[in-house]
Amino acid sequence: MQTGLTILLMVVIGAVIGGLTNSLAIMMLFRPYKPLYLGKRQIPFTPGLIPKRRSELAEQMGKIVVNHLLTPESIKRKFVNGDFQKEAENLAKKEIARLLNTEKTPAELLGKLGFEDGKAKAEEQLDAFIEKKYETLMDKYRHKPIKEVLAPELLAKAESRIPVISDYIAQKGEDYFSSIEGKMRIQRLVDDFVKGRSGVLGNMLQMVMGNVNLADKIQPEIIKFLRSEGTKDMIAALLQKEWMKVLDWEAARIEEQFERKNIIKSIKLYVRKIIKADDLMDTPLSKLAEPFTETLVEKAVPGLVGMAGEWLSNRMDIIMERLHLADIIKQQVESFSVERLEEMVLSISRRELKMITYLGALLGGIIGLLQGFLVLFI
């Protein structure tokens, strides 16, 4: 009976020693957090392993993550993964739709981005774009004839307006000479003509005219002349002739005739009249985007997501290098307190560490049992 108690006691003692030894070894990974001193001598094994090697641990963790876990190749595979692309596409659609359906105006959105006085900025950008575009086109077409610069459809449309312009000129002439102002103009011209003829010819004209008002005679004839189809055809023919000459002009001559600043000013006024930047900047984005929201979300977004994924994938090596992820991870780990590191490790491996403690107790118990048998038989 005493022999059995001796063996059992040795097994218990061995198990306790084995369990406590392993538990102490695990504890010494983290504790103590700071070095301990006996007088001026530092006590061995203080601080614990992880507090002592925290800087090296942080550096190695950074290298492991960058070299083996978060590699450019693994991220590239993620970008080209069909499920990821679908998820990114759905997220982009949701965010774009939310943005386009907002009641905020472009001016308000620009203000949030730090662009004060968005209207003025928009007009400045529009003016700069017009000037740049004008210079680009003029550099390309400055020494080419107009007929090679304008589109055939535009040339045909302009030529088709010549008869209309001819009728307009004739009508305006008729309206003018039918008015009192026109009649007075005719009278002054006749008077100037007669006064300019001195001598025998002048006297003869005055004798023949007597008290007759030539303006009353000439006005109906001028009106009749302007109303005739022959006059309109003549005006149209003259316009056609001049138009053909203009088509042979180089674009530089047009710029010289009307001056560059005046041309650009006219273009700006025309574009502003069409675009109405002030109204656009104060219109809710949902209203502005309404005509093309569905097209943009359903057709443009998938293509843009694919392009963005391809662009990022092709440049991932450079991006990862510029991010210096290893340094970021190292700095982050070094910023952790030892208590937090201990908590992180224990939260992940608490069960395994307990099993190691139990294993130590088991091995200690087995060793105690063997020792008991050795003592019994020796």
Comparing CA positions, the residue from 15, 20, 21, 23 lying closest to residue 368 is 15
244 domain residue, yes or no: no
Q: Coil, strand, or helix at residue 102?
A: coil
253 domain residue, yes or no: no
167 domain residue, yes or no: yes
73 domain residue, yes or no: no
Comparing CA positions, the residue from 370, 81, 134, 79 lying closest to residue 251 is 134
Cβ(142)–Cβ(250) below 8 Å: yes
Eight-state DSSP code of residue 292: G
164 domain residue, yes or no: yes
100 domain residue, yes or no: no
209 domain residue, yes or no: yes
Q: What string of pLDDT tens digits covers the 378 residues of the chain?
A: 677 787 888 888 888 998 898 888 888 888 887 888 887 888 887 888 788 888 888 888 888 888 888 888 888 888 878 888 888 888 888 888 888 787 877 777 777 766 666 667 777 888 888 889 988 888 888 888 888 888 888 888 888 899 999 999 999 988 988 888 888 888 888 777 766 655 555 555 555 554 456 677 788 888 888 888 888 899 999 999 998 988 888 888 888 888 888 888 888 888 877 776 666 777 777 777 777 778 878 888 888 888 888 888 888 888 888 888 888 888 888 888 878 877 887 888 888 888 988 898 899 889 888 887 887 776
Which range marks the domain in which residue 235 is found?
152-239
231 domain residue, yes or no: yes
Count of domains forming the chain: 1
